[in-house]
Amino acid sequence: MLATRLLIVEDSELTAGALRLLFEQLGHEVNVARDVRTAILSVLNVKPDLMLLDLTLPDGDGLDVLSMLQDQNQMPGRTIAVTGHDDPELRARCIQAGCSEVLLKPVPIAQLRALVQST
């Protein structure tokens, strides 16, 4: 089995580092982006199978990443949104933007691991 190419879009260095370590230990190829601009460039260069997308980034809304990638026909294989806001309207916007899942922070590691492994 080939390792899944995973892009973690997360502005918290601590959270991104912990997720990177976890998924690299599971055999995945992991890249990290901490803002909208870097996330878009990473998707274009890496072509991830899965993107874990924090919605609150220092230079914009995480959904801006998806909008810009759709405009360029460069969507990742699958996107899972991660947010601290339990809001039905936000969840609907995420699904409409192309997210397959919307997870509420703090995400249980077992649940996140299972979703990534199913990609």
Domain count, the chain: 1
Domain range for 14: 5-117
DSSP character at residue 3: P
Tens-digit pLDDT profile for residues 53-63 = 999 999 999 99
For the segment 25-57, what is each residue's pLDDT rounded down to a tens digit? 999 999 999 999 999 999 999 999 999 999 999
Q: Which of 43, 31, 101 is nearest to 72 (CA)?
A: 43
**Using CA atoms, how far apart are residues 48 and 30, in angstroms rounded to an integer?**
9
**CATH code, domain carrying 82:** 3.40.50.2300
Residue pLDDT, tens place only, 62-116: 999 999 999 999 999 999 999 998 999 999 999 999 999 999 988 888 988 888 8
**In what helix (H) or strand (E) does residue 44 lie, and over which residues does it extend?**
helix 36-46
Query: What is the per-residue pLDDT for 118?
Result: 81
